[in-house]
Amino acid sequence: MTYELYYWDGLQGRGEFVRLALEEAGADYVDVARGERGTAKMMNYMHGKHGYDMPFAPPFLKDGDLIVSHVANILNYLGPKLDLVPKDEKSRLFAHGLQLTITDFLAEVHDTHHPISTADYYEDQRPEAKARSKAFLKHRVPKFIGYFDRIIAANPTKSGYALGDTLTYVDLSLFQLAKGLAYAFPRAMKNFDNDYPRVAKLRDAVAERPNIEAYLRSKRRLAFNESGIFRHYPDLDQDPA
């Protein structure tokens, strides 16, 4: 069965965390909204034209007659099917908790450029975005990325992964976080590899996996841009705190 991924066309955004899992596993999937009339097809689900279980927002995944919305829900669902999480309950619950921490962090990344209103442009909330970015870089990046670095260090298998001794979807998401932060805040992340050596090493290990390497070179991988979550606005960047 072909998985159908529904996400806004033209940006990596939250959909990218699902794409990385599907690509790493070599899964059969269609990125529906990038196809013909794809956005209209996606909106039909959100407007309830295919049933009561209408998603609030993309991304969502269709697998047969199941609709799974939200990145963490999708990855928790796909993880065992794609061999991207250990099958025991303790590991699955822990991995899902880690992914939900990533979810929270992403909302904060988004708010660095939209601290007042998503209904207004970044240009209409620049001073507030600068203030929020400053606090984000000083307090939030160390708190979150430092946590993930400690998680990798605490992994009893010493595999270099977030949990267990094989790659999980959490590792793929951490790769995307590290890449996104470097894109959005190149100056502030200058010392990233020193400050978070385990996350940095994991990022590089993920990039070298054959399926991921092929994906990153393909047209399916869109470049980071200023429609996504990670946006490079030079005004919001600064020297390392």
Q: Which residues in this chain contact a copy of itself in the complex, by CB under 8 A? A: 48, 52-57, 60, 65-70, 72-73, 76-77, 89-90, 93-94, 96-98, 100-101, 103-104, 107, 111, 115-120, 128, 131-132, 135, 138-140, 144, 147, 150-151, 154-156, 163
Long-range contact pairs involving 218-223 (C-beta distance under 8 Å, separation at least 24): 220/19, 220/23, 220/31, 221/12, 221/19, 222/10, 222/11, 222/12
**Backbone phi and psi for residue 95, each to the nearest 5 degrees, phi listed first:** -60, -40
Shortest distance, CB of residue 139 to a copy of itself, whole angstroms? Answer: 5
Q: Tell me which residue of 71, 2, 9 sits closest to 38, measured CA to CA.
A: 9
- Whether 9 contacts 33, CB under 8 Å: yes
Shortest distance, CB of residue 63 to a copy of itself, whole angstroms? Answer: 10
Q: Tell me which residue of 239, 238, 24, 230 sits closest to 113, measured CA to CA.
A: 230
Distance CA 33, CA 50 (A): 16
Shortest distance, CB of residue 3 to a copy of itself, whole angstroms? Answer: 14
Shortest distance, CB of residue 157 to a copy of itself, whole angstroms? Answer: 9
Instruction: Give 151 or 236: the residue with its C-beta nearer to a copy of itself.
Output: 151
Shortest distance, CB of residue 167 to a copy of itself, whole angstroms? Answer: 17
Task: Give residue for tokens 């975005």.
Answer: 129
3-class SS of residue 71: helix
Angle between helices 197-207 and 210-217 (to 10 degrees): 80
Instruction: Give 152 or 212: the residue with its C-beta nearer to a copy of itself.
Output: 152
Instruction: Give 16 or 212: the residue with its C-beta nearer to a copy of itself.
Output: 16
Instruction: Give 110 or 221: the residue with its C-beta nearer to a copy of itself.
Output: 110
Instruction: Give 34 or 92: the residue with its C-beta nearer to a copy of itself.
Output: 92
Which DSSP helix (H) or strand (E) runs through 61?
strand 60-63
Instruction: Give 155 or 225: the residue with its C-beta nearer to a copy of itself.
Output: 155
Shortest distance, CB of residue 135 to a copy of itself, whole angstroms? Answer: 3
Given CA atoms 107, 109, 112, 114 in this order, what sign does their dihedral have?
Answer: negative
Shortest distance, CB of residue 168 to a copy of itself, whole angstroms? Answer: 13
- Whether 227 contacts 10, CB under 8 Å: yes
Instruction: Give 126 or 221: the residue with its C-beta nearer to a copy of itself.
Output: 126
